[in-house]
Structure 1
Amino acid sequence: MAVVEGVRERGGQAVPGMLVLIGSGETSPTMVEVHRAVAGRLRPGARAVLLDTPYAFQENAADISARARRYFERSVGLRVEVSGDVAGAGWVFAGPGSPTYALDRWAGGPVGRDLRARVRGRQGVTVLASAAACTAGLATVPVYEIYKVGAEPHWRPGLGLLEPLGLRAVVIPHFDNAEGGTHDTRFCYLGERRLARMERDLPPGAAVLGIDEHTAVLVDLDAETVEVAGRGGLTVRLPGSAAVLPAGTRTGLADLRRLAEGTGGAVRPAAAPPPALPSALPARATLEETVRSCERRFSTALAGPEPDPAAAARAVLDLEAELVHWAADTEEDTGGVDEARDLMRLLVARLGEVAPAAGLRRLVVPLLALREDVRGKGGYETADALRQAMAEGGVLVEDTPDGPRWSIPPR
């Protein structure tokens, strides 16, 4: 059996061995290049499986699965099936939801055994993100029970996927979360107080591997290399110390083990990076960053004695284009696309209020074109929201057989 550049060959067919852990944004534009790089290592016709277990209890589970499948097919070029059978799959993905709900169904059954076998045997690509990433270590954060229900901080046994790699560690995604504003929601919504308390309950010698949001840790199981890609970093946290490996870091798995054991020195670059992974995967702006940027551009365009409604309209159009890119995102905790869509309606309404009547045409025409484009893509709810927002701004839109007509009714 020959091993060539991190790919194990069996019977003349290349079988990649890779474990990918993602902190958040697993079906967002920020992770597209990561997914493409990983999927590019699969042999043609490899079976790709989406495990829906972490969110299967949700009423909208079918919608989440459909959005994820569209994302992987359209953005990554990977056709996936929703299945609970991962045996023999070339690529397996699991993402958002409840870590403990997934554990209750995986730990003692075939999925848990198959996931462990994949890592132990260095076979196939296994991608675990958000809630699913929580399950990878020797213990799991029951985030729903602690943060949303108010249970006392505690651990649940994990799947133990890292132990065959020599890592005695727990995985905590959303490590740099800042949604709380006035309260600490870092460390997957635990905050420093609860995490510090929980660390005392870990087995001796166990480390915390914290993965920032919109960040991926790619472990090549054959070459034993580790890469950090995306927006943030990987934190290796031990009692009294923490080491951060920022995005762009390439090192050996042995170095990561030493850091997790508290015996590591400097992190050394990996000697031979896998050929399918570019040396620096680009970091894309998050939806929140883009939303805030468009909002600032909008406000700047309408500030001062001479407002520029055309520039403000361009900011709205850019926001709508970003909504299309993020339509498949399955992370729902932050409001995400719904919050951005509400902002778009508000901005359109403000445009109608502040734009001078003489220059209204150069503002309304591109907005109507946007609405027609949205309708053409089947986004009727968004199109209706745009018409309502324009009505609130004083512009009446009527759909006719010859196309939309607009007017300004008397006040």
Structure 2
Amino acid sequence: MPGVLVLMGSGETSPTMVEVHRAATRELRPGARAVLLDTPYAFQENRADISARARRYFAHSVGLQVEVGTGIAGADWVFSGPGSPTYALERWAESGVAGDLRARVRARQGVTVLASAAACTAGLATVPVYEIYKVGAEPHWREGIDLLEPLGLRAVVIPHFDNAEGGTHDTRYCYLGERRLSRMERELPEGTAVLGLDEHTALVIDLESGSVRVAGRGGLTVRLPGSAAVLPAGTRTDLAELRRLASGVGGAPLPPAPAERAAVPAEVTLEETIRTGEERFRAAEAEPDLVAAAQVVLDLEAEIVKWAADTEEDAGGVDQARELMRLLIARLGELAADSGRRSTSLGHLVESLLALRAALREQGRYDVADALREAMRAGGVQIEDTPDGPRWSL
């Protein structure tokens, strides 16, 4: 079995990570056993729905048939994603899954993909994000399952590193913010680095060759007290260099060449689509242009279908896109009603002007009648003289 470890900052079941998943599964044998660990979100009432969406995503987008379970011994491919890191840690320690995950990495066998909450657990310590950000617990660490130790990396993993949901307050670093992360870094064992994974970004480690690459939209930050090296998407290096960076020595590997960055265009996130859609609709509303406004709604609906399998529940998700679509449909109805009222008023105006033009022509004042026709044409009203009388259109 190919030996690959993939850590994702977010977007694990979204279009942004499809190519990363496909690349990681390319060498799997036919009929490979693929297991989805639902532990991080197993406490949620909608766990079955989250698992079903994830299974559809991997089947339709990646071509991988996935079973939901907890027995991963001998599995060719293992995936775990969103939820609570600490809930997962406690169950994995009790069930032996933590040891099985470590054994996979130590043996350099199997594809192991941990994303979001599950990625939090991969280092020697784990951010208890639910307890700190949502419950208000004092910043602290929990022991991680330390999948990185067999690779010679002394580090913690923090996904959602560039999160910006807070707007007016700092939600970077998996919702910790700079103040709390700086405080927590001082509590780590000496020589421990922070591996910060941006959203919709993956760190892909080939366990056999030791090659390392950063894929997706953002970057990987290797952070130590007083310093940080950023490896942007497209960067290729190896475990030896990553160990040097994590220990504070060595320079950052060369960033990807412009041609390489352009070869695989970054997938637009749903949050960006929402923001762009709002801007496009406002522009169409200002014209007003009913066709362009309707196209925005249609494009948004297509994106919602495209992202339907996304299991993330952060800002910019499918629910927010649906809310915007309902709002835009309501505004589209108002625009249509306004347009109807304007058309009725315009019809009365145009008919009056045509009657005036006919009177001018009867009086032989063709120059004024022609000037009136040109003025109407400049205003968007086309006039066609027929044997049955003039016809007009916009």
2:312 corresponds in structure 1 to: 331
Alpha-carbon offset, residue 279 of structure 1: 10
CA contact (8 A) 1:49 1:81 kept: yes
2:53 corresponds in structure 1 to: 67
Rg larger in 1 or in 2?
A: 2
Alpha-carbon offset, residue 110 of structure 1: 2.0
1:335–1:249 CA distance, 2 compared to 1 (3 A): closer
Alpha-carbon offset, residue 266 of structure 1: 3.7
Encode CA deviations 1:252-283: one digit per residue, 9 max, x unaligned.
1100000000011241589xxxxxxx996542
2:360 corresponds in structure 1 to: none
CA contact (8 A) 2:232 2:255 kept: no
Aligned residues: 338
1:310–1:279 CA distance, 2 compared to 1 (3 A): closer
1:244 aligns with 2:230: yes
CA contact (8 A) 2:202 2:215 kept: yes
Of 35, 43, 54 in structure 1, the residue corresponding to residue 40 of structure 2 is: 54
Alpha-carbon offset, residue 109 of structure 1: 3.4
CA contact (8 A) 1:22 1:133 kept: yes
Of 243, 250, 253 in structure 2, the residue corresponding to residue 267 of structure 1 is: 253
Of 268, 273, 288 in structure 2, the residue corresponding to residue 285 of structure 1 is: 268
1:155 corresponds in structure 2 to: 141
2:294 corresponds in structure 1 to: 313
1:303 corresponds in structure 2 to: 286
Matching of residues 9-408 of structure 1 within 5 Å: 15-267=1-253, 281-304=264-287, 307-334=288-315, 336-355=317-336, 356-357=339-340
Give the Cα separation in 2 of the matches to 1:328 and 1:81: 16
1:37–1:19 CA distance, 2 compared to 1 (3 A): same
CA contact (8 A) 2:271 2:316 kept: no
SS of 1:127's equivalent in the other structure is strand
Encode CA deviations 1:40-65: one digit per residue, 9 max, x unaligned.
12111110000000000000001100
SS of 1:229's equivalent in the other structure is strand
SS of 1:171's equivalent in the other structure is strand
Give the Cα separation in 1 of the matches to 2:169 and 2:182: 16
SS of 2:145's equivalent in the other structure is coil
Which is helix-richer, 1 or 2?
2
SS of 1:33's equivalent in the other structure is helix
CA contact (8 A) 1:48 1:90 kept: yes
CA contact (8 A) 1:229 1:281 kept: no
1:292–1:153 CA distance, 2 compared to 1 (3 A): same
Amino acid at match of 2:332: L
SS of 2:292's equivalent in the other structure is helix
CA contact (8 A) 1:137 1:162 kept: yes
Give 5+ residue unaligned stretches, structure 2: 344-394
- The TM-score normalised by the length of structure 2 is 0.83
CA contact (8 A) 1:91 1:125 kept: yes
SS of 1:107's equivalent in the other structure is helix
Give the Cα separation in 2 of the matches to 1:281 and 1:171: 26
Encode CA deviations 1:95-126: one digit per residue, 9 max, x unaligned.
00000000001125321111000000000000
Alpha-carbon offset, residue 335 of structure 1: 5.8
CA contact (8 A) 2:234 2:255 kept: no
Alpha-carbon offset, residue 357 of structure 1: 2.0
CA contact (8 A) 1:48 1:91 kept: yes
2:378 corresponds in structure 1 to: none
Alpha-carbon offset, residue 25 of structure 1: 0.7
RMSD of equivalent CA atoms:
1.8
Give the Cα separation in 1 of the matches to 2:106 and 2:8: 20
Give the Cα separation in 1 of the matches to 2:96 and 2:264: 34
SS of 2:267's equivalent in the other structure is coil
Structure 1 residue ranges (4+ consecutive) displaced by more than 3 angstroms after TM superposition: 278-282
- The TM-score normalised by the length of structure 1 is 0.80
SS of 2:194's equivalent in the other structure is strand
